[in-house]
Amino acid sequence: MPAADVSPADKRAAEERQLALAQAFLKAEEWDKAIDAFIAAAAATNFDIAGAARSGLLQALAAKKAADDQDAIDAATRKLELGRAFLKAGEWDKAVEALEDAAAAEDTAIAKLARDDLQEAIREKEAAPLGVRAYFSPPFNRWWPIDYLVYIAGFGLLLVVLGLIWRGLAGPLIENVSAYFFKRANDWKVSVAGSAKEELRNTVFDEFVVTMRELRRYQSSESGLSAIGGSSARFFTPLSLKDLVGPDLNVQGIDITRVAAITQTIRDYYSYQFELRVETIDEHAYVYALLRWGGRTEKVWQVPVLADDTKFGYREIGRHLAFVVYGDSLAMQLIRRYEETSSRDLLENAAAVLKKCMAASPQDALPRFYFGITQSALGDLNQEFAIPVFKEFSRSKEFALRAAATYNLAAAYVETYDPELFREGIQLLDDLLKELREKGVPLGQGERVKGLRERFAGDRRIRVEQLYYQSEETRDYLHIHLHVWRPRWEDRVVQIETAADHALKKLAERRGRIKKHERFLGRQRSEIWAWHWNNEGSVHEVLAALAKRKGTRSAALSEAKLAEDAYRRAADADPSFVSSLPNLGRMKFEILGEVDGAIEIFQKIIAVGVEDMSYAHFCLGQLYTVKRQPILALEHFLKAPDLIRS
């Protein structure tokens, strides 16, 4: 079928649309499409349209060339920057490759920069560091002395290793590192040995194990404390590798059974080895227990001889030994839990356990020492049991035990509120502080210096910062009580103010030393700060009382605010230190006249139920008397008979 004739008008319109399309592509910078469209439009029959198309084609070709040139410049620039980055990082080969590409660029400026950098990369590649520096990254690989420093450090390390081997210290070092990974306090192995007949040894062993199990079960049900030797904290599986993989399995030539044996040996070595020794001498049974770890004997328990050489006698001695071993450890757990929680029940449980220990082993001194601590902390006003025990131990020839007993004796005097005993306590603590300075490590001495002196000078002195600052704060408490707090309502106002100012200066000076040596205070840190702030609060309370007596209300309120802040800081430092709360309650009543606030504080003290119970009841009796509630007042007075009589 012949094509239809196209009118000149339609043909012109089509040519105009083609030209418009080409111009649109040119405007959109789509050069290839614009060139194709302009070529088609240049074949138009209309002279004007064809001329415009040829002109647009020239523009499109010029624009495409300019764009291609810019892309080449951008690519060369990126290559140049990449080469410089590799050059800076010390990657010489990669830098040379990138810079060679950039040097071939048509842009002369970029090519010149690339050639200059290429020459630098080649120079640095030829002068690249050798030896140790080759393993370092810039800028360290460009610093030539580092080779010699590394060699010197390596030689020094070699000398240290040889020195450790020469002095026999390499073994203990490896042992301590192994202990960090292998030691498990709850993994115990019990065995029995000795010269007694096997039947009698087994009798002691069986009775010991049965009694320990019963004690653990009883204690677990009563207080929730974990038993000694529980199996929940073992580092390794109870099974050996041999039990898991079989006796004949070899992997890459390694005998797994041999590895299992070595692992088991290490595991046994770093487990607690508990050995019962049952000896028969002159037909009498002597039984003691040895606790070993890492090849060393850590503790020994012994029970007195029993005359009965029958099975019943050996059974009884095994039971006594279980009470001594478990009771000793359990009592210390209870005392530590009491320090953390201030629960009076835990302290009473510890006292009950220690009584059983003393009954089972009367000659063992430590249970009596611990029992004295429990009785002192339970608030016995007369300290009838604690004071004789601590006096006995304060005469010990062992410095550590003597120092601890001396401090506990002074702390027991604190509970009596007896001025004569307070003066004796000050003298005791003065002597103790002097001995601590002479026989302990110098205060604040660094661990490295201490270790060097111990290693090379044989200095075996122990750290005393904890006991030293605790003793200083306790001594200040006794001194403040005698010379500042106790006479606060007497007429000698000037003398009391002078003593108070002196005490504050002394406390401020010590506060700086405590902060300086705080890292050596360990768990005792919180209690030392509590004693410190309690002492400072007591002094400010006295100054508030003196200001109130002189009629300067603003000064009294200011000192009372300082006292309250100090008492609250003491409570915040150690929540289990409750001595500051009674002082705060007393101050609110005596200085500020806040009866309801004081009642709230003393009721809180009774609810906690640890220390100052009698004093809290006595103060509540006074407060309810002021509020004209005689029945409540009498009820609390009756609960503080010792204070009423005094």
Angle value at C-alpha 624, between 623 and 629, nearest 5 degrees = 160
Q: How far apart are CA 313 and CA 321, in angstroms?
A: 12
Buried b (16+ CB within 10 A) or exposed e, 292-323: bbbeeeeeebbbeebeebeeebbbbbbbbbbb
Task: Determine which of 40-49, 285-294, 332-341 has the lowest per-residue pLDDT on average.
Answer: 332-341
Question: What confidence score (pLDDT) does residue 225 get?
Answer: 27
Instruction: Tell me the per-residue pLDDT of 192-248, one tens digit each, with 9 for 90 and over.
Output: 777 777 887 788 778 777 777 766 554 444 333 222 222 222 222 222 323 323 333
Q: How far apart are CA 594 and CA 194, in angstroms?
A: 70
| Tokens encoding 130 | 């050798």
- Of 265-279, 351-365, 501-515, highest mean pLDDT: 501-515
CA trace torsion 68, 71, 72, 74 (10° rounding) = 160
Q: How far apart are CA 554 and CA 564, in angstroms?
A: 15
Contact 291, 315 (CB under 8 A): no
Inform me whether the pLDDT recorded for 508 exceeds 60: yes
Q: How far apart are CA 585 and CA 637, in angstroms?
A: 17
DSSP character string of 215-233: HHHHHHHHH-PPPTT-STT
Average pLDDT over residues 10-19: 75
| Tokens encoding 545 | 């009382």
Inform me whether the pLDDT recorded for 318 exceeds 80: no
Q: What is the 3-state secondary structure (H, E, C) of 130-147?
A: CHHHHHCCCCHHHCCHHH
Inform me whether the pLDDT recorded for 376 exceeds 90: no
Question: What confidence score (pLDDT) does residue 133 get?
Answer: 61
Average pLDDT over residues 173-178: 68
Residue 158's CB: how many other CB atoms inside 10 A? Answer: 10
Give the residue, 604 or 127, on which the prediction is more confident.
604
For the chain, the average pLDDT equals 74
* Residues contacting residue 83 through CB under 8 Å, at least 6 positions apart: 94, 95, 96, 97, 98, 99, 102, 114, 117, 118, 121
Inform me whether the pLDDT recorded for 509 exceeds 90: yes
Region at 510 (left for phi over 0; alpha for psi -120 to 50; beta for the rest): alpha
Give the residue, 521 or 191, on which the prediction is more confident.
521
Confidence label for 543 from pLDDT (cuts 50, 70 and 90): very high
Contact 274, 188 (CB under 8 A): yes
The secondary structure element, H or E, covering residue 244 is: helix 241-245
Closest CA to 248 of 234, 240, 258: 258
Average pLDDT over residues 451-468: 81
Inform me whether the pLDDT recorded for 309 exceeds 70: no
First to last CA, the chain: 138
Task: Determine which of 280-289, 328-337, 625-634 has the lowest per-residue pLDDT on average.
Answer: 328-337
Contact 643, 615 (CB under 8 A): yes
Contact 543, 497 (CB under 8 A): yes
Question: What confidence score (pLDDT) does residue 2 get?
Answer: 47
Q: How far apart are CA 383 and CA 387, in angstroms?
A: 6
Confidence label for 499 from pLDDT (cuts 50, 70 and 90): very high
Q: Collapsing DSSP states into helix, strand and coil, what is residue 309?
A: coil
Partners of 293 in the β-ladder: 296
Inform me whether the pLDDT recorded for 337 exceeds 70: no
Question: What confidence score (pLDDT) does residue 622 get?
Answer: 86
